[in-house]
Every structure is written in C-alpha cells, then in structure tokens.
C-alpha cells in the first residue's frame, strides 16, 4: 500500500534556529514528490516538486531534497512567518491523485 509518513508531527523553533522536516514514502515508480504549505484556515499552497534522487530545490529559507526513500525540507534561519503546516504528497499507484502525509506543524517564535 502506498504510504507517506511525515515527522515530526510538530516542531517548535526559535527564530534563526535551523532544522529539517522529514517525509518518507513507500510507492513504486515515484512520479514526483510534492511539498505544500498550509496556513490555518486556508488551502494548501504549492511549494516544490522533486522528481529524482539527488534533486534539490530552494525557495527563500526553504530547501527540499530527495532520496530514493525520503525527502527533507530544510529550513534555514526560520522567521515567525514560516510558521505553518508543511504537507508532503506523492501520486498514488494509479497516478490519479495525490496521497498526503499528515503534515508537520512548524511554530517559529521570535
């Protein structure tokens, strides 16, 4: 069964304290791994797509990396405005929709 597992469930950081979020997946024939950001009361907002092991993508203080079994979202010197829930997703076996992890809720305090 295709699965996506994210850890930790919640992460509290001080402003400027770098850390990483993990997304592990079990799906054969990966056709992309997607990272989304979700703010309270809003829909998920697309951040990155990664397609092959070793690929990296960056956006401001965020950098996403991909291996054959997992992806990391590295947050460098976070600011309070980076506080959100970060969701990871992969296409299902049929390729018809995304399977989402439960997310990591990040809180950054000043």
Partner 1 sequence: NAGVTQTPKFRILKIGQSMTLQCTQDMNHNYMYWYRQDPGMGLKLIYYSVGAGITDKGEVPNGYNVSRSTTEDFPLRLELAAPSQTSVYFCASSYNLPGYNNEQFFGPGTRLTVL
Binding site for partner 1 (CB under 8 A): 4, 31-32, 34, 36, 41-46, 49, 51, 87, 89, 91-92, 95-103
Cα(77)–Cα(30) distance, integer angstroms: 31
- Does residue 92 have a cis peptide bond before it, meaning omega lies within 30 degrees of 0? no
b/e per residue 1-40 (b: at least 16 CB within 10 A): eeebebeeeebebeeeeeeebebbbebeebeebbbbbeee
The nearest distance, CB 83 to partner 1, in angstroms, is: 18
Closest to partner 1 by CB, 89 vs 108, is 89
Closest to partner 1 by CB, 12 vs 102, is 102
The nearest distance, CB 11 to partner 1, in angstroms, is: 15
The nearest distance, CB 58 to partner 1, in angstroms, is: 17
Closest to partner 1 by CB, 93 vs 109, is 93
Q: Name the nearest CA neighbour of 67 among 4, 108, 24.
A: 24
Closest to partner 1 by CB, 41 vs 54, is 41
């Amino acid at each position: 069964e295709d699965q996506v597992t994210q850890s930790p469930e919640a992460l509290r950081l001080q402003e400027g304290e770098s850390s990483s979020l993990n997304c592990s997946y079990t799906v054969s024939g990966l056709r992309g791994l997607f990272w989304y950001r979700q703010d309270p009361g809003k829909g998920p907002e697309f951040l990155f797509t990664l397609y092959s092991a070793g690929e990296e993508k960056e956006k401001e203080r965020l950098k996403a990396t991909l291996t054959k079994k997992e992806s990391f979202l590295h947050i460098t010197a976070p600011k309070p405005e980076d506080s959100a829930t970060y969701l990871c997703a992969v296409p299902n076996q049929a390729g018809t929709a995304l399977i989402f992890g439960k997310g990591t809720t990040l809180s950054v305090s000043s």
